[in-house]
Structure formats: C-alpha cells, structure tokens
Amino acid sequence: MRRRDWILLPVLGLITIALLMVSAESIARWSFPTSESGLQGCFAKGIPWGNAGAVPNTVCSERMAESKYLAEYRFNSCGHRAGVECGPKQAGSYRIVMIGSSMAMGLFTPREMTFASLLPPKLSQETGRKIELYNEASGGEFRGGPFPMRGSISQFKEVLSASPDMVLWVVTPMDVENATFEGPSPEQMAAIQNRAGSGVRSGHLANVWNKVKAAVTQGTIDKELRGRWDQSRTSLALKHIFYGSESQQQYVDSYLKNQDDSGFLRADMSPKWRNSLAAFEGYAEAFESQAKKANLPFVVVLVPNRAQAAMLSMGRDQWPAGYDPYKLDEEMRAIVEKHGGTYVDVLPEFSKIPNPEQHYFPIDGHPDAEGHAMIADVLAHGLTNGAIPQLKASAQPQAQLERGR
C-alpha cells in the first residue's frame, strides 16, 4: 500500500460511518417526527425541582416522537387543562374534580382523547345523571410532574373552590414513589441558579467544542458520546421498535431487572418503597381530612404503569417468584380506607384485557390515545359498581338521562 492509502482509507471509513449515521438519523427523524411550540412557556419559571403551576390563559402544543397526534395544552384562567372555564358547575350536574399527575393531565394526548374527556359521558350513560369532570391534574413544571408535590396540601383549597360533589385522585406508581421528593435545599437551589446565570453566551459550535475539550480533559468522553447517542432520534427509534416488539413475558422480565423502579411489584416491598408509602399516607391523610371537613366524598384509584398492567394481564401462574402486581394496590387501599376515604380497585379489570401494555408508549410509558380510551372504560366500570352510591349504575340509565334533559 502507498503511504497516502494509510491516510485515505481511514478517512474514507470515517466519512462512510458519518454518512450512515446522518442517513440513519434523518430516516429516524422522518419516521418519528416531533413538533413543539414551547410547552415550557405555559409553566411558571424559576422552580428547578419541578412543581411550578401552569400559567393561566396560556396555550402550548407538542408532538412527541412516539405519538401520532399533536397535543394542544390549553389552560383556563385558573391554570387547569379542564376544557372549560373555571367557575360554577352546570345546573343539575354532578361535578367530579380530578387531581393527579401527568397521566391524569393527559400528557402527549389531545384533550378530547384523554380519559378526563371520555369518562364523563360514560358515567352519564351508566348512571342516568348529568356528570361533569373538572380536571385540575397537572402536577408540575413543563411535563405534568409528580403529584403529590411540595405544597400540594396547602393548595388543596383550590380543589374545594371548584365546587366538587366528589374528589377523584388518580394515582400512579410513580406518584407514590415521588411522595418522598423534597426538591433541592436552599443552598442547592442557589447553586443551580448561579450556574444558570453564569452560562457561556457563545455560539453553538463554540459550546460544542468547549464540551468536547472538557470531556477529553476530564476523561468522560465515553459518557458524553453515550449521552449524545441516547438523545438521538436513531436511538429512540431503535428502542421504540425493540421495546414494542418484545413479548409480554420478555418485557416484564426486562423491567423487573431494574429492582429500584420495580420494587413496588415485589410481594415484599423494599425499604425505599415502604418509605414512599409512608410519605404518601401523609398526603392522603391530609387530603382526606380536608375533604371530610367539606363533607365531600374523597375517592382514590390506582392506574397501573405499563409493566404493572402487563403483569396483571399475564395471570398469577406466570408471575416470577416473589412478585405480586396487586401488592401496591392492597397497601393503598389500607391507607385510604384507614383515613375515611373510598378506594376503588380497578386492577382486576386490567387483568381481563389482553396485552394492555400495548396501549402505553413503549419508551415514555404514558398511555397513548388508545390507552386513555382503555382507562376511561375501566374507570367507568369501577366508579359505577356500587362503591360510590352517588354514581351507582342505573337499571335504565339512558332513559333517565333523556328525561333529565
């Protein structure tokens, strides 16, 4: 080989690799498009731990890569994605005020396709009553965030000011896990703000070059490359295809390997999840106490995450030894009923649905539009099966509803 070939061949190889990477990323961006008008513009700024509320009378929209719909977030003058202006309920209607986190808010899903929108007509049909649902779920900054969160107890008066006939708290396993989240200390918050205020205001290429030099100097170039890869659309596309094509058993086995996140599925919960449940009980007790003083029914329902829904559908004989997807459900029922609330168990309904995990985004984990329709059906059945007298299914619901119009 000529001397120049020792230079040209590696260069050609690098160019080929670069072209393949650019082509793969371009195809992935075409197959998994996104669009956004700045969802962060609809939430208050300056609260780095993520419990900022939505700014009243704002509108934002986005389409995340795994979704085929553009989701618009339209917040009313009270900062709620309720679909109606905040104010008195309609005459003769039974108002449910729903609280919760990003799943109840309907993150990544058009509002008319969320279970918050689909549930009221189903309840009206079942009960023969005019049912309206006012959605106060949002949680926190930018993405719905966790709920409960810092300040939730003091903010519960907003729920009562919406003139509810019933309060419905839709809980997810992540909400229980986040019940212990305190946010940064004042010192940590000051450091975050100082770093944000002292950022380099240079061009994009200069910033990239500075990051590369820092990574090389600190010996973290491998981590920097992995981070870039994880943020690429190609990585997302491959993960989406891989996770979406897994069998139910393969997906559950893979999820359970992360013992930190899957601890709530163990028959003997880890200390971390015991601590989270204790913190969750503090919120539940405070919420239920305020609802009791207002003479309002306080109803709690646990909606499973993707892995829990898959395990429920598998059946007991296929659960790995030492795991029980009903364990968190049992613990929450004991907590809620201990303090005088009503717990509605909907997990048995998920066990009857074939592969319910297919109605969640494989990577993100939130329910898709079909998932929201599934949850609306499950909630309608659970809320009208007699646990709540005011919503008990009527023998002739539709005829009664027509006479009430």
Mean pLDDT is lowest, of 83-97, 109-123, 204-218, 307-321, for 204-218
How many C-beta neighbours within 10 Å does residue 143 have? 19
Is residue 23 one of the residues assigned to a domain? no
Can you give the pTM of this predicted structure? 0.83
Report the alpha-carbon distance of residue 240 to residue 362 in Å, rounded.
6
Convert the pLDDT of each residue in 368-389 to its tens digit: 999 999 999 999 999 999 999 9
Is residue 25 one of the residues assigned to a domain? no
- The segment with the largest mean pLDDT, out of 84-88, 244-248, 366-370, is 366-370
Is residue 285 one of the residues assigned to a domain? yes
Is residue 174 one of the residues assigned to a domain? yes
Q: 123 is in which domain, residue-wise?
A: 39-182+259-404
Is residue 28 one of the residues assigned to a domain? no
- The arithmetic mean of pLDDT across residues 313-324, rounded, is 92
Report residue 401's pLDDT band, with 50, 70 and 90 as the boundaries: very low
Give the CATH number, domain containing residue 100.
3.40.50.1110
Is residue 249 one of the residues assigned to a domain? no
Report the alpha-carbon distance of residue 328 to residue 266 in Å, rounded.
9
Mean pLDDT is lowest, of 66-75, 181-190, 317-326, for 181-190
Is 275 a residue whose pLDDT tops 50? yes
| CB-based contacts of 11, cutoff 8 Å, min separation 6 | none
**Spatial CA neighbour of 390 closest among 187, 69, 94, 52:** 94
- The arithmetic mean of pLDDT across residues 298-308, rounded, is 97
| CB-based contacts of 405, cutoff 8 Å, min separation 6 | none
Is 141 a residue whose pLDDT tops 70? no
Report the alpha-carbon distance of residue 231 to residue 327 in Å, rounded.
35
Task: Say what the pLDDT of residue 215 is.
Answer: 56
**Spatial CA neighbour of 272 closest among 286, 255, 284, 258:** 258
Is the distance from CB of 123 to CB of 95 less than 8 angstroms? no
Task: Say what the pLDDT of residue 212 is.
Answer: 55
Is 49 a residue whose pLDDT tops 90? no
State how beta strands 59-63 and 35-36 pair: antiparallel
Task: Say what the pLDDT of residue 192 is.
Answer: 44
Number of domains within the chain:
1
Is residue 317 one of the residues assigned to a domain? yes
Convert the pLDDT of each residue in 176-220 to its tens digit: 998 887 655 555 445 544 544 444 444 544 555 565 556 556 666
Task: Say what the pLDDT of residue 259 is.
Answer: 83
State how beta strands 71-74 and 59-63 pair: antiparallel
Mean pLDDT, the chain, integer: 84
Report the alpha-carbon distance of residue 326 to residue 311 in Å, rounded.
10
Of 316 and 181, which is predicted with more confidence? 316
Is residue 4 one of the residues assigned to a domain? no
Task: Say what the pLDDT of residue 54 is.
Answer: 84
Task: Say what the pLDDT of residue 207 is.
Answer: 58
Q: Which helix or strand (DSSP H or E) is residue 187 part of?
A: helix 186-197
Task: Say what the pLDDT of residue 156 is.
Answer: 87
